[in-house]
Amino acid sequence: MQNNIIITGAAQRLGLHCALTLQHAGFQVTATYRSEKPGLQQLKDAGVHCIQLDITEPNALADFIDSIKQQLGSLRGLIHNASDWKKDLPLSDCDNARAALAADAAVYDAMQAVHAKAPYLLNRAFTPLLQAHDGVTDIIHLTDFVASVGSSKHMAYAASKAALENLTYSFARALAPKVKVNAIAPALLLFNDHDDACYRAKTLQKSLLQVEPGAAELSNTVMYLLNSRYITGKVIDLDGGRHLNLP
Ligand SMILES: NC(=O)C1=CN([C@@H]2O[C@H](COP(=O)(O)OP(=O)(O)OC[C@H]3O[C@@H](n4cnc5c(N)ncnc54)[C@H](OP(=O)(O)O)[C@@H]3O)[C@@H](O)[C@H]2O)C=CC1
Ligand SMILES: Nc1nc2c(c(=O)[nH]1)N=C([C@H](O)[C@@H](O)CO)CN2
């Protein structure tokens, strides 16, 4: 039986770990990536099918969907991991309102495009493949803790992750009982190499457990959802108790 899983943005970090975990668990993983990363070789060595794709580029997305529909008869899972963690721009003090608006709109549109529009389009395009699989199937959205509480420095990012969270509920309702649709909402899982000691200390303090759990925390949760027969329309919080770390 075919056990095809697609994961987007999987050439590095959490997506890379998840793609390798799934491949080693016996799934046949197709990983999309936007730009070449060292992790690509690990994916290829493990037998993962790697496809270059900017999910916000309409023509490339259409070609990708056509190609997958020609190659795969069914899909066991679709994991929306691709993401850009863009900060909001500093408030503009220039008199040129038009330029400031254009700059802010570019950030907002980019966040909606990668985190909400692309998952919406891919879910709808691949619904027939998910329904063709022999057995229950899964869609998993990677959202974020800040989707539920907002962010003072990543407003557009948080709003787009909130949109993706809401799409979780809509697709869960629309695609049941064949397809389970869930979200995973992490707070800190994995620092970036450029994060300095001060940022790391401040961020660790935000959760009750005060640890950086690493990529396995996400991969384990993905496997848990794939193995569940009775979870859909849920947001699984991976936040170390941050939601309770109140002043
Ligand atoms: N790391 C953490 O602690 C947390 C992560 N998350 C979420 O978990 C997921 C994985 O996180 P993480 O591994 O840190 O993410 P990264 O930012 O390290 O990687 C995301 C990947 O998505 C790719 N990507 C970005 N834009 C596009 C696009 N338009 N088309 C295709 N691919 C794209 C990037 O490609 P490129 O390299 O070319 O830019 C990158 O490889 C994300 O959804 C993130 O929002 C949420 C909370 C905390
Ligand atoms: N695409 C990404 N999204 C997020 C990242 C990241 O590195 N890439 N990192 C975070 C932070 O870890 C945050 O949760 C804690 O400061 C959020 N989203």
CA of 98 to the centre of ligand 1 (A): 30
Please indicate whether residue 186, judged by its CB atom, sits closer than 6 Å to ligand 1: yes
pLDDT digits 0-9 by tens, 5-58: 999 999 999 999 999 999 999 999 999 999 999 999 999 999 999 999 999 999
Alpha-carbon gap, residue 154 to 148, rounded angstroms: 13
Give the residue numbers annotated as catalytic, written as ranges.
157
Task: Please spell the DSSP secondary structure of 1-67, one letter per residue.
Answer: ---EEEESS-SSHHHHHHHHHHHHTT-EEEEEESS--THHHHHHHTT-EEEE--TT-HHHHHHHHHH
Tell me the C-alpha to C-alpha distance, in Å, between residue 122 and each of 45, 132, 224.
27, 16, 23
Q: What is the pLDDT, as a whole number, of residue 201?
A: 98
The best mutation among 18, 83, 145, 165 to test binding of ligand 2, ranked by most ligand atoms within 8 Å of the C-beta, falls on 83
Please indicate whether residue 14, judged by its CB atom, sits closer than 6 Å to ligand 1: yes
Q: What is the pLDDT, as a whole number, of residue 92?
A: 84
Mean pLDDT score across all residues of the chain = 97
Judge residue 184's burial from the number of C-beta atoms within 10 Å of its C-beta, 0-12 exposed, 13-18 middle, 19 or more buried. Answer: buried
Alpha-carbon gap, residue 192 to 203, rounded angstroms: 12
pLDDT digits 0-9 by tens, 192-206: 999 999 999 999 999
What is the residue with the minimal CA distance to atom 11 of ligand 2?
Answer: 188
Q: For ligand 2, which residues put their CB under 6 angstroms from it? A: 83-85, 144, 187-188, 192, 203
CATH fold for the domain made of 4-191+213-242:
Rossmann fold (3.40.50)
pLDDT digits 0-9 by tens, 216-227: 999 999 999 999
- Dihedral pair phi/psi, residue 219, rounded to 5°: -60, -40
- Taking a C-beta distance cutoff of 8 angstroms, is the pair 83, 114 a contact? yes
Alpha-carbon gap, residue 140 to 118, rounded angstroms: 13
Domain regions of the chain by residue span: 4-191+213-242
Q: Residue 244 corresponds to which tokens in the numbers above? A: 């309770």
CA of 144 to the centre of ligand 2 (A): 8
* Whether pLDDT at 247 is above 80: no
What is the residue with the minimal CA distance to atom 1 of ligand 1?
Answer: 190
pLDDT band for 93, please (50, 70, 90 cuts).
confident
* Whether pLDDT at 236 is above 90: yes
pLDDT band for 90, please (50, 70, 90 cuts).
very high
Q: Which atom of ligand 2 is nearest to the CA of 191?
A: 12
Tell me the C-alpha to C-alpha distance, in Å, between residue 133 and each of 31, 67, 111, 176, 189.
19, 18, 31, 14, 32
Please indicate whether residue 34, judged by its CB atom, sits closer than 6 Å to ligand 1: yes
Q: How confident is the model over 127-153, as a mean pLDDT? A: 98
User: What ipTM does this complex have?
Assistant: 0.99
pLDDT band for 208, please (50, 70, 90 cuts).
very high
CA contacts within 13 A on the Cβ side of 8: 25
Closest ligand to 161 CA?
A: 1
